[in-house]
């Protein structure tokens, strides 16, 4: 697979987390050094680090930062309690992606063995992400080809689910890149993904880096593109998947799924096992992050609405399982609900 960089989107270096600042892309490739739990919480909350698997890995490394700060030899009293409090703050930095709490808990589980063990667990999770991504992408490529036997595909995706959102090649975007590498892709339509433009800024950047033909469209053009026969398959990621297969993902995903079902177009979710939350059945029980109004009432820091205008700004929505053709993880196809043509 063509992979412009083998460097994971985040890593542990000299007692800190080093990551690409996704807020600066595509204009600037700026590295961000996170030395404290506060730094990590802020980076996650402001989307400097974003995408469900990436925020989980950042959270796990954040627990290691806290463990070294509070539980190193020579530091007395209350250390473990302080780390547990930090872990709660890390897990709460964004509420919707279950990967965050999952990864923080997993790292915290090693606290009794000391800071080195916490760090080893967190870095093992980064390594695992490579294998998980590779297996998931291989199953997802097959799932797409099974449903779209035509020689060359026009794909549509939403938000960013590539190497910026994971520690490896990505989920849905990783699948698109693998299909492109196999010569199966004519063009990728990329939803710009309002309001923070993860599609326009990040997915277009990754596709350009990989040399894959793509066009960016406004989110509301997706249904029209489907009606004009410009889309053979929709591929997206997930932030949380319930036991019955309802999927929380970036706002706009639900509308895409409705449009895809209407046009008989396969709608495939690619996400790791760590995105499943089987404690929930009904997707309406997923906590949806509501973000600041100015993300909607401004564009490029310029106000676009009359002063005082309020906004409805959920960061995610829930797509019911009935609208999803397949959910693919590293273990294979979990759920199918074949769309009616
Ligand atoms: O708000 P974001 O940019 O973190 O939202 C990201 C998404 O919705 C992704 O589709 C999801 O996290 C999967 S990333 C592999």
pLDDT digits (tens, 9 = 90+) for 219-247: 999 999 999 999 999 999 999 999 999 99
The tokens describing 170, both together, are 């990505």
Q: How confident is the model at residue 340 (pLDDT cuts 50, 70, 90)?
A: very low
Q: What separation in Å is there between the alpha carbon of 98 and the centre of ligand 1?
A: 11
Return the top range by mean pLDDT from 7-11, 99-103, 150-154.
99-103
Position 3 scores a pLDDT of 44
Position 228 scores a pLDDT of 98
Q: How confident is the model at residue 80 (pLDDT cuts 50, 70, 90)?
A: very high
Q: Average pLDDT, stretch 294-322?
A: 96
State the DSSP string of 20-43.
Answer: E-TTTTTT---EEEE-SHHHHHHH
Position 77 scores a pLDDT of 66
Q: Which is more confident, 272 or 9?
A: 272
Position 1 scores a pLDDT of 39
Position 5 scores a pLDDT of 56
Q: Are 71 and 117 in contact (CB under 8 A)?
A: no
DSSP letter assigned to residue 314: B
Q: Of 58, 83, 41, which Cα lies nearest the Cα of 166?
A: 58
In the predicted model, is pLDDT for residue 335 greater than 50? yes
- Closest CA to ligand 1's atom 6: 51
- Closest CA to ligand 1's atom 8: 250
Position 151 scores a pLDDT of 86
Task: Map residue 130 onto helix, strand or coil.
Answer: helix
Q: Are 234 and 266 in contact (CB under 8 A)?
A: yes
Rounded CA-CA distance 123/319 in Å is 32
Rounded CA-CA distance 194/301 in Å is 14
Q: How confident is the model at residue 50 (pLDDT cuts 50, 70, 90)?
A: very high
Q: Which is more confident, 8 or 172?
A: 172
pTM of the model: 0.95
Rounded CA-CA distance 172/160 in Å is 9
Ligand 1, residues at Cβ distance < 6 Å = 47, 50-53, 97, 159, 161, 165-166, 171, 198, 237-239, 249-250, 315
Q: Is 249 labelled as part of a ligand binding site?
A: yes
Q: Is 50 labelled as part of a ligand binding site?
A: yes
In the predicted model, is pLDDT for residue 4 greater than 90? no
Place of tokens 């106000």: 303
DSSP letter assigned to residue 290: B
Residues 6+ apart with CB under 8 A from 82: 66, 69, 70
Q: Are 172 and 203 in contact (CB under 8 A)?
A: no
Q: Which is more confident, 300 or 136?
A: 136
Q: Average pLDDT, stretch 177-183?
A: 98
Rounded CA-CA distance 185/179 in Å is 6
Let me know if 239 is a catalytic residue: yes
Q: Average pLDDT, stretch 265-287?
A: 98
Rounded CA-CA distance 78/89 in Å is 17
Instruction: Tell me which of 86, 191, 239, 246 is the catalytic residue.
Output: 239
In the predicted model, is pLDDT for residue 71 greater than 60? yes
Q: How confident is the model at residue 123 (pLDDT cuts 50, 70, 90)?
A: very high
């Amino acid at each position: 697979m063509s992979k412009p960089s083998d460097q994971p989107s985040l890593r542990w270096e000299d007692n800190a987390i080093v990551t690409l600042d996704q807020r600066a892309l595509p204009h600037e490739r700026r590295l961000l050094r996170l030395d404290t739990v506060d730094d990590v919480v802020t980076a996650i909350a402001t989307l400097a680090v974003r995408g469900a698997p990436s925020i989980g890995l950042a959270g796990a490394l954040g627990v290691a930062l806290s463990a070294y700060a509070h539980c190193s030899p020579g530091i007395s009293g209350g250390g473990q309690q302080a780390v547990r409090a930090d872990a709660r703050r890390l897990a709460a930095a964004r509420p919707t992606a279950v990967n965050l709490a999952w990864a923080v808990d997993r790292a915290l589980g090693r606290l009794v063995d000391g800071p080195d063990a916490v760090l080893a667990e967190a870095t093992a999770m980064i390594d695992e992400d490579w294998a998980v991504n590779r297996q998931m992408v291989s199953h997802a490529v097959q799932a797409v080809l099974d449903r779209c036997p035509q020689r060359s595909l026009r794909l549509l995706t939403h938000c960013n689910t590539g190497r910026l959102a994971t520690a490896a090649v990505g989920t849905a975007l990783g699948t698109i890149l693998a299909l492109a590498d196999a010569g199966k892709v004519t063009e990728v339509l990329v939803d710009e993904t309002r309001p923070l433009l993860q599609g326009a800024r990040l997915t277009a950047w990754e596709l350009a880096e990989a040399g894959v033909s793509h066009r960016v469209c406004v989110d509301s053009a997706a249904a029209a593109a489907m009606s004009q026969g410009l889309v053979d398959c929709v591929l997206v990621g997930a932030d949380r998947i319930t036991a019955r297969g309802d999927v929380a993902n970036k706002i706009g995903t639900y509308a895409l799924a409705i449009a895809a079902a209407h046009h008989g177009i396969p709608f495939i979710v690619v996400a790791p096992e760590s995105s499943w939350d089987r404690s929930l059945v009904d997707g309406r029980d997923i906590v949806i992050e509501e973000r600041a109004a100015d993300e909607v009432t401004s564009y490029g820091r310029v106000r676009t609405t009359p002063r005082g205008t309020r906004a409805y700004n959920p960061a995610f929505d829930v797509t019911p399982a009935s609208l999803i053709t397949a959910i693919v993880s590293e273990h294979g196809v979990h759920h199918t609900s074949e769309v009616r043509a």
